[in-house]
Amino acid sequence: MKPLAGIRVLELARILAGPWCGQLLADLGAEVIKVERPGSGDDTRTWGPPFVTDAAGEAWGAAYYHACNRGKRSVAVDFEAEEGRAIVRRLAAECDVVIENFKVGGLKKYGLDHESLAALNPRLVTCSITGFGQDGPYAARAGYDFMIQGLGGLMDVTGDPAGEPQKVGVAVVDVFTGVYAAVGVLAALRRRDETGQGGHVDMALLDVSVAILANQAMNYLASGRAPRRLGNAHPNIVPYQVFEVADGHVIVAVGNDGQYRRFCEVIGAPALGTDPAFAGNADRVKRRAELIPLLQPHVKAFRRDDLLAALEAAGVPAGPINTVADVFSDAQVVARGMKLELVGDDGSVVPSVASPIVIDGERMAAATPGPKLGADTAAVLAALAGEG
């Protein structure tokens, strides 16, 4: 039995952050009921190509949709109509968790906000995901991952210092928000176990973007100097970056002084490893502009695989820069079972990426693909009628 078996989640969320939270809870064993607009459903169903098709060759939504909706049930109801609102209330009364990503106050006009639903179900945990949180001067604004990466500082520390600021290649703020949201939900459920009372989890994309600045934020807070883009270099460790080799590029991630000395020995520059000017990491960070041009010619003399093998043998962390195709053919990724083949009710096979969570040797991943729009409406409504 999975850890969240018996927990029922009502997902009133679309796009990525909220659905990512819902998918993570589904992976852990929760029953997740996704409420969608009749006719169109979650916006990401159309965010393609590429698209997934079923066994009959019919469209089954964009790959983007399937990235964050496996293991769920889909109910298509219009809660702008009273009949739809009544269905959502009845579902919420039978659920443990509601995930929603409407603008602040957006559900209040329907009587579906946390306060209204908690009056029906005091044990309910509601997780509200917004761009800027439930209060503050920006609370009413819409928030999107791309703009939040800029506003929250991530883009100013990402990219080539000679080029323009860059966003991360994945909607990392949305994904992190989904993960943090799941942690908040689980904490609120744990508290409910003790008190019998649910609660309201307030998740903001901007808060998450600031939180995941991590060491870059602390570098600023401790020094008063704002960090800037370093491309593929590290603000606190040298050498910890991409180097050019004879047939491409490699990542070298030297983490301590011993590794640095061994790195220099491998590349045929032992004198740089013992030079007092570069002996300690703090020295190397200060003299980065001097050291890297001295190391680069030695590294470039190697072919990628030869250098990686030599560094591995010497205990120096290093690795290739893989394409996504390379990732899914990598021996370790294959061995860990990170690619899933999920089978639908009609025998359709939908590829998916596994959750990274493994508990007692079991990979925590839901067994079914993202649902077709409204696929479970009749069954869920029939169960509600039975409960009534």
Give the catalytic positions in this structure: 174
Pairing type for strands 349-353 and 339-343 reads antiparallel
> Chain-centre distance of CA 180, in angstroms?
9
Which residue in 371, 7, 1 sits closest to 185, CA to CA?
7
